[in-house]
Structure 1
C-alpha cells in the first residue's frame, strides 16, 4: 500500500524533506557554535577579577604606521584582561558622546597611551556626565595623569560603525569608538582594539564611573539550536504523516483530467481510486 512512494511526486517530496532537514540541522549547529562563543566571552568577563593580566603586546598585533590601525583582534580575544605601560597624550584625547550609564546620558573619555616604541593604545578611562547645557554639553573630565602610567583593563573590540570625528571643546568628538576612523585623526600608530580601564597606577580619578560590561545572551543561541533540530525532526514526521494519509486515501484527490466531466463522474472516479488503494 506504500508503493506510491516510488512515484516521481513522492520521490521529489522525500528529497525536499531531506534537504530541508539537513539545512535546519546546519542552522542548529551554527547556533550551537554561537552559544559556545558567547559562553566563552561571558567566562572571560566573569573571571577578569581573578586572572592575571597579560601584556597587551602578547595578544594584539603592534601597529606599524600612523593613520592605519593594527590588526583587529577576533571575538575570541574580547574582554581579555591586559596590562600596558606608557604616557597619556591628552592633546589627542577623545570624547565619545551619547553614552548611557545607569540611565543617564554622558561621555566616555578615551585617551591615547603612548608606549615606549611610539605606538599607542586607546584607553577608555571611564564615563562622566554631560555638562549643564544638556546631553551634548561638554563634560568636565579629570585630566589624565602626567608621567609614566600603568593601566590594567579589558580588551574592547572596535565599534563597527564609523562616525564623524571633529575637534570640539579641546578634544576629538565622536559618537562611536571606531578604531579605523579614529586612527586617521591621530599622529601615531594605534592598536586595533582599545582598553576598558579597570585599574591604574597612579590611581584613576574617582570622578570617572567604570563602564559596565554586559554579558552575552548565550542561552538564546542555545534555544535557537534546539529549535532548529526539532524543526528538522518535524520535517520527517510531517512527511510520514502525509504518506500515511495518502495510503489511507485521506488526502484530497486531484481532479480528473477532463475538467468538463460531470460532477457525478468526477466523484465516482475519486471513489474508484480510493477503492483500488484499499484493495492494495
Structure 2
C-alpha cells in the first residue's frame, strides 16, 4: 500500500521535507544558543557586580574616551569629591525599593572643575511633600562620596512622570532632564547611588540599565524564535504525514476499484 513512497515524486518530496526539518531544527538550536549566551552573560555580569570591590575615582570610568555609563561600568564602585548644592536638592517620586513605593533624594555634587554629579543620597517611603527636601539636608563643605555608578534612566521608566511635577521634583534621572532643571556647565553621565544613606533614608540598590547584554527583550525574542522554528519543523512533519495518509487511502480505494476521494 505504501509502494508509492518509492516513486520519484514521493522520494523527492520526502527528501525536501527532511531538509526543511533539518534547517528548522538547526535555526531553532541556533536561536536557543543565542538566548543561552545572553542568559550566561547576564549571570556573569551579576557575579562580577557582586564581587567588585575596587573603588575607583569617577573620572577613571567616565572620561573623554568613554563618557557614558555602559553595562561594563554600571554598578561599579566609585568615589567623587566636591561640595553638595543644597539649594537645588531634588526629589524623584515613584521609585520602588523592596516592594514599597517612595522617592529618591537627589543632591547635585559640584566638583572642583565645575562639573556636576547627580548623587542619590537615599530613598524614603511615601510621597514627597514640600518639607521632604528640608528634612534631609546634605552635609556642607568638601565631601567625598562613595557609591555605585548607575545608568541614566529612559523616559517613562520606573513609573517616571515626564512632566507636571511640582518645583523641586524630577521625573527621570538622566542628563537631559537634569540640564532642563539645572543648567550647570556640564553633568556627568548617569548618576551615583551613595553607599551610605543619612538617617531617615534607605540606600538605593543598583539598577541594571535597559538595552544591555542581559535579559533584555532581545534575549526573549531569541527564545520566541526558537519556539517558532521548532513549530515549523513540527508543521512539516504534520503535513508530510497528512499527505501520506491521503495518498495511502487513495491507493486503497483504487485497489478496491473505487474512485479515490481526495479531501
Structure 1 position 123, deviation (Å): 0.8
d(CA) in 1 for partners of 2:64, 2:109: 14
- Asked if residue 268 in structure 1 is aligned to residue 258 in structure 2, the reply is yes
Structure 1 position 213, deviation (Å): 4.0
Q: Report if the CA contact (8 A) 2:165-2:171 is conserved.
A: no
Structure 1 position 103, deviation (Å): 4.3
Which residue of the partner structure matches residue 183 of structure 1? 179
d(CA) in 2 for partners of 1:251, 1:230: 27
Which residue of the partner structure matches residue 47 of structure 1? 51
Which residue of the partner structure matches residue 121 of structure 1? 117
Structure 1 position 17, deviation (Å): 3.8
- Tell me the C-alpha RMSD between the 2 structures: 4.2
> Kindly tell me: are residues 239 and 194 of structure 1, through their superposed partners in 2, closer, same or farther at Cα, counting changes over 3 Å?
same
2:163 aligns to what SS in structure 1? coil
Aligned length: 240
Unaligned runs of 5+ in 1: 64-69, 257-262, 274-280
Range that drifts further, 24-33 or 181-190: 24-33
Structure 1 position 93, deviation (Å): 1.9
d(CA) in 1 for partners of 2:32, 2:125: 43
Unaligned runs of 5+ in 2: 157-161
2:199 aligns to what SS in structure 1? coil
TM-superposition CA deviations, 1:180-219 (whole Å, max 9, x none): 22223222211111111104xxxx522211123478996x
Which residue of the partner structure matches residue 112 of structure 1? 108
Q: Report if the CA contact (8 A) 2:91-2:128 is conserved.
A: no
d(CA) in 2 for partners of 1:240, 1:105: 52
Q: What pairs with 1:1-280 in structure 2 (closer than 5 Å)?
A: 1=5, 3=8, 4-7=10-13, 11=16, 13=17, 16-48=20-52, 51-61=53-63, 71-130=67-126, 135-138=127-130, 139-140=132-133, 141-161=135-155, 163-164=162-163, 168=167, 171=168, 173-188=169-184, 189-199=186-196, 204-213=197-206, 239=236, 243=240, 245=241, 250-253=244-247, 268-270=258-260
Q: Report if the CA contact (8 A) 2:57-2:79 is conserved.
A: yes
1:32 aligns to what SS in structure 2? helix
> Kindly tell me: are residues 39 and 227 of structure 1, through their superposed partners in 2, closer, same or farther at Cα, counting changes over 3 Å?
same
TM-superposition CA deviations, 1:226-278 (whole Å, max 9, x none): 896687567657656765x47xx84234999xxxxxx999983549x9xxxxx
Which residue of the partner structure matches residue 278 of structure 1? none
> Kindly tell me: are residues 195 and 45 of structure 1, through their superposed partners in 2, closer, same or farther at Cα, counting changes over 3 Å?
same
Q: Report if the CA contact (8 A) 2:31-2:222 is conserved.
A: yes
Q: Report if the CA contact (8 A) 1:155-1:196 is conserved.
A: yes
